[in-house]
Amino acid sequence: MTLEAFMPDGKALQMGTSHMLGQNFAKAFKIKFLGKDEKYHMPWQTSWGISTRMIGAIIMVHGDNKGLVIPPKIAPIHAVIVPILFDKSKEKTLKKAEEIKKLLKDYNIEIDNRGEYSPGWKFHEWELKGIPLRIELGPKDLEKNQAVLVRRDTGEKEFVKIAELNKKVKQSLDKIQKNLFTKAKNFLNKNIVDVDNWNDFLKAIKAKKIPKAFFCGKKECEELIKYEADGATTRCIISDGKKANGKCIKCGKKSEYKVYFSKSY
């Protein structure tokens, strides 16, 4: 079984797999266990691999020209408070920032109180790190008892009363999570195309899409497809439990498999 993601540059990325390894490794490394029958047996093994490729997929799918964009549900920091510091109001602004952090106790919040960097510099650094929300707090905001909430995914700014901040942060994080998922899913679905002839298959590969087609499953046929379709390979056999009947996209022989094809890394 495999999980395949489709990247913005038109290539598939295998993120995670599970394999039925059989007894191959058990025999090679002489792995044994004592069974209920009090006899030694060689185990049948499986492997489940969710690796750093998953992190790479997240970076490549959601990231933009400003840097990372991390979905809130896996973000180590949900929001960063950036106080706009001036000599006269510095103490008051930092005190309010601490109050806001306590108010948002259900989330992982950072306060960037470094004095050696400008607010603009800090904004860009936290955007680069992909933190979902930025909370800006300056002297004018203190006067109005508000803060500025900035979304990493859209750059959208919203002026929020301090008393409503907890509710607004939750709503914003939920919206960001949903938006990132929907955007990625729509991109994937938009780029999957059903094809039933070789010319359309080649056009789909050239257009950096995922052609879905019948395939006979023969090794020599797959090698020919890879050679003639600029390196495109089978990515996933569709396993929805439904029997399909068609003709292989390349050789025309009878096929029960519908397969996703794509170029990959």
Q: Token pair of 130, please?
A: 């992909």
**241 pLDDT band (50/70/90 cuts)?**
low
pLDDT digits (tens, 9 = 90+) for 24-38: 999 999 999 999 999
**48 pLDDT band (50/70/90 cuts)?**
confident
Q: What is the reported pTM?
A: 0.86
Domain count, the chain: 3
Whether the predicted pLDDT of 14 surpasses 70:
yes
| 158 located within any domain | yes
Q: What is the CATH number of the domain that holds 124?
A: 3.40.50.800
pLDDT at res. 34: 96
Query: Do 51 and 144 fall into the same domain?
Result: no
Query: Do 79 and 147 fall into the same domain?
Result: yes
Mean of per-residue pLDDT scores for the chain: 94
Whether the predicted pLDDT of 240 surpasses 80:
no
Whether the predicted pLDDT of 200 surpasses 70:
yes
Query: Do 161 and 226 fall into the same domain?
Result: no
Largest CA distance in the chain: 81
Query: Do 124 and 159 fall into the same domain?
Result: yes
Q: What is the domain extent for residue 115?
A: 72-187
Identity of the amino acid at 173? L
